[in-house]
A and B are shown apart, each in its own frame.
Chain A
Amino acid sequence: MTTTGKIVAVNGNMITVAFDGAVAQNEVGYAICGDKKLMAEIVRVRGTRCDMQVFDATTDLMVDDRVEFSGELLAAELGPGMLAQVYDGLQNPLADLAAEASKISKDAGFFLQRGMYIPGLPRDKKWDFHPLAKPGDRVMAGDFLGWVTEGIFDDKTMPGHKIMVPFALRGVYTVKTVAPAGDYTVTQTIATLSDAAGKEIPVQMMQRWPVKVPIKCFTERLEPTETLETTVRTIDTFFPVAVGGTYCIPGPFGAGKTVLQQTTARYAKVDIVISAACGERAGEVVETLKEFPEIVDPKTGQSLMKRTIIICNTSSMPVASREASVYTAVTLAEYFRQMGLNVLVLADSTSRWAQAMRELSGRLEEIPGEEAFPAYLESRIAAFYERAGRVKLRSGATGSVTIGGTVSPAGGNFDEPVTQATLKVVGGFHGLSRARSDARRYPAIDPLDSWSHYNSVIEQDRVEKARAILRKGNEIGQMMKVVGEEGTSLGDFTTYLKAEFLDAVYLQQNAFSESDATTPVARQKVMFDMVEKVLSSNFEFKEKDETRKFFLGLQQTFIDWNDKPFESDEFKALKDELDRKIAEATDGE
């Protein structure tokens, strides 16, 4: 017997419902609005009334309208069919929504229709199931029962898409039957398990999992020691991200957060990327949507989209599903991690998610914390990033979820609640600076303020030396603004130019140039050797103009070098030229 209720108040996307029976916090219900059912989630219960946030516009709802409760928490559907999908925050496939809405009228097809929900996994598609478990096997939640081919996950270059014992099952089960190899839909039974009491449980390829609860089917969490190769030089060398680590990118608008996230989504060496466009611009998502299918993933030789899932809840889409979208993203990531894959979650932007919480909290008339954000802001942010990690599975394999979140601080001022709460819990901080982006120095990651706790692809002491020169160069630059060039010694001036050189040729990277946009670690090492040589050389110059001219020339050649494909003839020729130029200038030694 399901619980039902009646609306007693409507305020924005918040409804108050008087219910009979029992309800659970975060339980999903549907408000009946004419011929539509509007999905909503319980956010507070008081006596026989509960407050629910509605995942759609509440227009036309009336007092006394019926509400039906589902008895389930907000859950994601997990199984084959998620890759290459573009979902909204509630896991509705956007393309299917458009097709469904087009049936109403051509014009209606352009818009997101209220109360229209479509299952996240296609129900009619058949998958080629290959059993791995045998009758009599003792299994636990997360153990592999079989696999199917899904795109690049074909058990050849990449492992197959594993079908697992549902995560919600507790304890040890015995496999009774396993379906023979063949084609099945996600809702057909592919195995039967029996528990200690002999109760039989049919298992399908699809399982549901509440998005706000972490999946914990692993034996232990491992320390994130391996560097995640993003091919962005500033990140990999100076502010690395670890496989299974967390990092954040705060920055004022226009500093290039999104371009940086997109570059990472493209080139990072991971198995799967889940990109959550949370409350951001629709245009940017469209860009990813249209470009990713055309980009070839060097690892598999196939379209990049085949290893990507996009969760797209842009700023004009309902705010309650925006709040859900980051949880949906990380839940999908945890599912793939359970197969022993490395997954990268990019959340753009966590500030919009925090604002969704603030809007909700305001409507609940909770006592506001700083800048009207709710008091539980910090713990929510911490809990979200804690879902990242590298884990050891029961099979002995490891899998990981890495989370990178952008933060959009009000006024570009990092001293605000969301940035501060995030900095407390992440392992890497890539602070974007307005001054750098104004000067078109991209990526605008501030080389002085940013930090990372993870291991670089270059030896730590060498990186530290380079950073020391950056710091020194910056100090001298500041000083020069006061005392002028003539008041600066030639030695200091050279240090200043060295820092500028490092910035121009190594830290700055052109995301729109084919060669320069992505620098694999092998190339970074060659480049860093060259930069280091310049930084550590004692140049014998007589005057400043001569010094500047030398550095500008060297910089020019280096930038040309960056433009050439790695290990090509032109690349080698320019490398020789750089070596020669440096040798000439240090001839006096």
Chain B
Amino acid sequence: MFNNKVYHKIDALSGSVATLRAEGVKYNEIAEIESRAGTSLAQVIKLDGPNVTLQIFAGARGVDTAAKVRFLGETMKVPFSEALLGRAFTGSGVPRDGGPAINENPSPIGQPSVNPAKRIMPNRMVKTNIPMIDLFNSLVISQKLPIFAKAGEPYNELLARIALQADSDVIIIGGMGLKYDEYLKFRSTLDKSGALAKTVMFVHTAADPTVECVLVPDVSLAVAEKFALQGKDVLVLLTDMTSFADAMKEIAITMEQIPSNRGYPGDLYSQLAARYEKAVDFDGAGSITILAVTTMPGDDVTHPVPDNTGYITEGQFYLRNGRIEPFGSLSRLKQQVNKGVDKFVEIDGKKVNINKTREDHRTLMDAMIKLYAQYKETVEKQSMGFKMSAWDQKLLKYGAEFEEKMMDLSVNIDLIDALDLGWKILADNFEKGEVGIPSKLSDKFWPKA
């Protein structure tokens, strides 16, 4: 059924929302609005008797009450083909790199949730050669992880570095509220390394209409899902999800919805989850891994956006002073890959040992963090001018070495080297019996003097 009727009278305009009277309109359907401001797509977000409420993607500025509204009878779609690779688009799918428009294979966005029964247990590590990730909080295929940072931290640089070093078939970058020069920088970094050829970018810059910002994660993930269904391992990098949440807030308030916490809509959790839960390792197809920057307004992790995000994602990285903080940073899936005992699974009919790390991985990681926590306490005591005991002295020396050799983001070493380095740092500073590691491991790995 196609509704060809064209409407010419808009009754109300507010924010990016327009209301008009129309018949036979489907919920979530797309409409085209032609007005003095130009042509834009819009989506039906409410039906109430004869009244239809539309959210205009390009914003309502300049839209006149006599604008021409035509309902298209279908939901929002994004084109999909290999030709997307190497290209950049806006949130509504218009090329922003001067290349030709792509119209092949339109696929609906915001599809239903994956059936949990069709997911497999994540069991492949994404190696980044950043010890604070590989050793302490391994990233795993199909994981969804945010990078929590305050404004000004080098989060986009970190994202770009992970994009370059991680071994994925396809990379999708979804930019929300990006500064234009940040977008250009992403492009040039990926271009220089040759990674651009396997990258698709959907970018909403700070100057673009708010509604397009909300569309970015959906179009990015819809395309990712298509690639994953073809058997590809897709890495989706989103930055910045706080801009996405703010755009939702703006729209919800214009719609006069009752806000729940600091003005954010009551369904913020569900909205964020609907996007993050697209991360998946399909049973019988590819995978989607999501890394998303979430800036923390006022460096406050209890702000609704990082807070809700933390409950949805499988851990988080805190980026602070240019380093990934060991406290609070957590990869919930690391247990799947750092067990250190052989684990065989059947992949394509062959038994494959998927566990590539070492038996000491987990214990070493815990011991080092516990000691680092004690070091932090000692630093506090020292700054208050207390006498340092022999133990305190050891901790101080250990902490300094740990920060320099492990935490610095410029450290670029393989996981096994990082494990060996860990033992060396412990042996440099402590006796074997002091580090809280069961003897069967320390006997084996403690470096011989």
Q: Which of A's residues lie within 8 Å of B, judged by CB? A: 7-12, 16, 57-63, 86, 94-95, 97-98, 101, 106-107, 109-114, 252-254, 279, 281-287, 289-291, 312, 314-317, 319, 349, 352, 355, 358-359, 361-362, 365, 368, 371-372, 408, 410-413, 434, 438-440, 481-482, 484-486, 504, 512, 544-545, 548, 552-553, 555-556, 559-560, 563
Contact = CB atoms under 8 A, between A and B. Distances in A.
Contacts of B433: 552-553, 556
A391 to B, nearest CB: 33
A110 B339 CA distance: 29
Contact of A314 (B27, B111, B116): B116
B118 A289 contact: no
24 contacts: A57-B28, A58-B28, A59-B28, A60-B29, A62-B25, A62-B47, A97-B115, A113-B112, A281-B277, A281-B312, A286-B116, A287-B121, A315-B274, A316-B113, A316-B270, A316-B278, A434-B328, A440-B373, A481-B377, A481-B381, A485-B392, A512-B335, A512-B362, A552-B434
B85 interface: no
A481 B380 contact: yes
Contacts of B314: 281, 283
Interface residues of B, number: 89
A315 B111 CA distance: 14
6 smallest CB-CB distances across A and B, nearest first, come from A411-B302, A484-B386, A315-B273, A316-B277, A372-B260, A253-B310
B27 A58 contact: yes
A468 B118 CA distance: 50
B436 interface: yes
B117 A95 contact: yes
Contacts of A8: 48-49
A286 B282 CA distance: 11
Contact of B46 (A10, A106, A107): A10
Given A254-B316, A408-B311, A411-B302, A114 B112 contact: yes
A98 B118 contact: yes
Contacts of A438: 327-328, 373
A9 B47 contact: yes
Interface stretch (B238-246, B261-269, B346-354): B261-269
B117 A484 contact: no
A286 B26 contact: no
A503 to B, nearest CB: 12
Given A101-B115, A290-B121, A355-B269, A555 B436 contact: yes
A112 B370 contact: no
B106 interface: no
Contact of B274 (A10, A106, A316, A486): A316
Contact of A282 (B277, B285, B303, B304): B277
B37 interface: no
Contact of A290 (B24, B120, B284, B328): B120
Identify which of B111, B116, B390, B436 gathers the most chain A CB atoms within 10 Å of its CB. Answer: B116
Given A253-B310, A372-B260, A512-B362, A317 B328 contact: no
Nearest to A411: B302
B119 A282 contact: yes
Contacts of B373: 438-440
Contacts of B311: 253, 349, 408
B115 A559 contact: no
A57 B270 CA distance: 13
B121 A254 contact: no
Given A63-B49, A110-B114, A291-B121, 10 more contacts: A10-B47, A62-B26, A110-B283, A112-B114, A282-B277, A283-B122, A283-B333, A314-B116, A410-B307, A548-B391
Contact of B26 (A16, A60, A111, A319): A60
B412 interface: no
A359 B122 contact: no
B194 interface: no
Interface string B136-161: 00000011000000000000000000
A225 B273 CA distance: 40
Given A484-B386, A555-B436, A352 B116 contact: no
A340 B344 CA distance: 41
Contact of A111 (B112, B265, B310, B436): B112
B39 interface: no
Given A61-B26, A358-B266, A368-B258, A112 B389 contact: no
A63 B47 contact: yes
A440 B366 contact: yes
A362 B255 CA distance: 12
B285 A110 contact: yes
Nearest to A310: B116
B387 A556 contact: no
B315 interface: yes
Nearest to B283: A110
Nearest to B325: A438
A362 B49 CA distance: 20
A60 B27 contact: yes
A552 B75 CA distance: 64
B267 A359 contact: yes
B269 A315 contact: yes
Nearest to B29: A60
B29 A319 contact: no
A94 B438 contact: no
B330 interface: yes
B380 A355 contact: no
Nearest to A559: B438
A349 B303 CA distance: 20
Nearest to B123: A290
Interface string B294-313: 00000001111001101110
Interface in B210-224: none
Nearest to A99: B117
A579 to B, nearest CB: 19
Interface string B333-345: 1011001000000
A112 B301 CA distance: 33
B390 A286 contact: no
B257 interface: yes
B117 A94 contact: yes
B369 interface: yes
Contacts of B335: 512
Given A61-B27, A371-B261, A411-B302, A97 B117 contact: yes
Contacts of B112: 57, 111-114
B115 A112 contact: yes
A63 B142 CA distance: 40
A372 to B, nearest CB: 4
